[in-house]
Amino acid sequence: MLKKLAGLAGVAVAATMMLASPAAAELKDILAAGKIRIGTPENFPPFGSLGAEGEYEGYDIDVANMIAEDLGVELELVPVTSKQRIPFLETDRVDLVVATLGANPERAKSIWFSSAYAPFFSGAFGKPGVEVSSIADLAGKKVAVTSGTLEDLAITADAPEDAELIRFGDNAATIAAYVSGQADVIVTGNMIALGISKENPDFKLENKFIIANSPSFIGVKTGNIDLLQWVNVFVLHKKLNGKLDGLSRKWLETPLPPLPAL
């Protein structure tokens, strides 16, 4: 009986040690293997999607390629959906996640985050002739916004009383209303605004002001401190040498704004 109890205790200790041990894919392991697995968006242009040639392309794809190049290893792209990003990292299916991953306290319980590498924000957008530079300037303006979104909540809370908020059931309806001239300003995400600009180049759509800033961070498995440190140096280096600014101009059609560092 004592032997059986001792055996069970040994199994419990071993299981605890396995759970507490660091992930296999630390920086030295990646270098030794000569390959890095990076989770990237599978259908979220312009960050990551299948291009005309059948290969993945986009901002995050270019960042993943630069990471592999700087490490001197082969790159294995692993397309991920939004829900797969953290689980794939936690279960060692990928070594890093470069997939428009926003940082918040809840997610930080599960994984580590690098310094920000890409801009992602919600804002008020309008044509050059529309003079708006702050939420107060929406006074007397017609504002198109998708009902129930974070943008709607922010505008509703802070907009002047005489701002006319026109709410729509989904992004497609909001876009259609703005494009047809039903509003002076559209309040939405920068990627949706970019899509409007591509479809309607005469609009010369401008970001008037930012409502909520949610830049993208690179996800690293908890415990991989050397890999996290390397990624932070990588991000800093690409900011300083202008490579990330070049990607922002290429894929997002805007200069790289100041991004937070962790």
Residues 162 and 104 in one domain: no
Residues 42 and 76 in one domain: yes
The maximal CA–CA distance of the chain, rounded, in angstroms, is: 85
Residues 111 and 14 in one domain: yes
pTM over 0.85? The answer is: no
Where is average pLDDT lowest: 103-117, 118-132, 144-158?
A: 144-158
Question: How far is Cα 121 from Cα 218, in angstroms, rounded to an integer?
Answer: 17
Question: How many structural domains does the chain have?
Answer: 2
Note whether residue 63 is domain-resident.
yes
pLDDT band at 24 (very low <50, low <70, confident <90, very high): low
Residues 144 and 176 in one domain: yes
Residues 227 and 152 in one domain: no
Note whether residue 257 is domain-resident.
no
Q: Which residues pair with 220 in a beta bridge?
A: 96, 112
Note whether residue 101 is domain-resident.
yes
Note whether residue 22 is domain-resident.
yes
Residues 116 and 237 in one domain: yes
Report the pLDDT averaged over residues 151-171.
91
Residues 15 and 112 in one domain: yes
Note whether residue 32 is domain-resident.
yes
CA end-to-end span of the chain, whole Å? 53
- Average pLDDT in the chain: 88
Q: What residues make up the domain containing 191? A: 122-213
For the domain that residue 27 is a member of, what is the CATH number?
3.40.190.10
Residues 148 and 202 in one domain: yes
Report the pLDDT averaged over residues 16-30.
60
Residues 197 and 236 in one domain: no
Note whether residue 45 is domain-resident.
yes
Collect all residues with Cβ–Cβ distance below 8 Å to 82 and sequence separation of at least 6.
99
Note whether residue 132 is domain-resident.
yes
Report the pLDDT averaged over residues 108-120.
96
